[in-house]
């Protein structure tokens, strides 16, 4: 009876350990696939409801803050990769599917994995590789910095 109780309480702990082991890179190599959209998030308001922000946005084409138009509406926009973090285990076979949704084109590089391509609106660009190097690798659009940036995290195999 007491033994059964120990097993019952130990099992969730063991499952937790197994999940942790997988998260730390001990899982068998597998194929991992992600879809990453190039988007331009936009928002704005009328000045009579919300004043035009006085603090500047960071320099670079990734941000835009537009003064009130003839109707008094101002807008802010930011270019993004979404999701902006991809986590895989070392030796996984990775496919990243980039989808150009907003913005005409995005010259994109994945430093450390020697990937460089032009992502265009209306197109889907697939990039495949074996994640054989552990570390954190920047995925950068050269046109819409500094906001249009993601990272590939390759957890080391133990």
Told to check if 140 binds Cu ion by CB under 5 A, we report no
Instruction: Mark the segment that binds Cu ion (CB under 5 A) among 25-33, 40-48, 120-128, 146-154.
Output: 146-154
From 143, 152, 154, 155, residue interacting with Cu ion (rule: CB under 5 A): 143
> Parallel, antiparallel, or unpaired: how do β-strands 149-155 and 63-66 relate?
unpaired
Q: Give phi and psi for 101, each to the nearest 5.
A: -105, -55
Q: Give phi and psi for 84, each to the nearest 5.
A: -105, 5
Told to check if 147 binds Cu ion by CB under 5 A, we report no
Q: How many CA atoms lie within 13 A of 25 on its CB side?
A: 16
Instruction: Mark the segment that binds Cu ion (CB under 5 A) among 44-52, 93-101, 106-114, 126-134.
Output: 106-114
Told to check if 80 binds Cu ion by CB under 5 A, we report no
> Nearest approach, Cβ of 82 to Cu ion (angstroms)?
12
Told to check if 106 binds Cu ion by CB under 5 A, we report yes
Binding mask 33-52 for Cu ion (x = CB under 5 A): --------------------
Task: Give SS3 for 64.
Answer: strand
> Nearest approach, Cβ of 117 to Cu ion (angstroms)?
12
Which residues have C-beta within 8 Å of that of residue 150, sequence separation ≥ 6? 36, 81, 83, 84, 85, 86, 138, 139
- Give the containing element (helix H, strand E) for 107: strand 105-110
Told to check if 88 binds Cu ion by CB under 5 A, we report no
Residues that bind Cu ion (CB under 5 A): 106, 141, 143-144, 148
């Amino acid at each position: 009876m007491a033994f059964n109780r120990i097993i019952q309480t130990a099992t969730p702990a063991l499952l937790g350990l197994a999940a942790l082991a997988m998260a730390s890179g001990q899982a068998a190599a597998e194929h991992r696939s992600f879809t990453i959209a190039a988007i331009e998030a936009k928002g704005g308001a009328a000045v009579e409801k919300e004043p035009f922000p006085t603090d500047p946005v960071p320099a670079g084409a990734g941000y835009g803050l537009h003064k009130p138009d003839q109707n008094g509406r101002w807008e802010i926009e930011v270019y993004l990769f979404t999701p902006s973090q991809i986590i895989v285990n070392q030796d996984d076979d990775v496919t990243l599917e980039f989808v150009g949704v907003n913005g005409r084109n995005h010259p994109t590089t994945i430093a450390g994995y020697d990937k460089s391509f032009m992502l265009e609106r209306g197109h889907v660009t697939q990039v495949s590789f074996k994640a054989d190097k552990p570390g954190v690798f920047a995925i950068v659009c050269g046109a819409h910095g500094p906001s249009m940036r993601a990272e590939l995290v390759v957890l080391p195999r133990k």
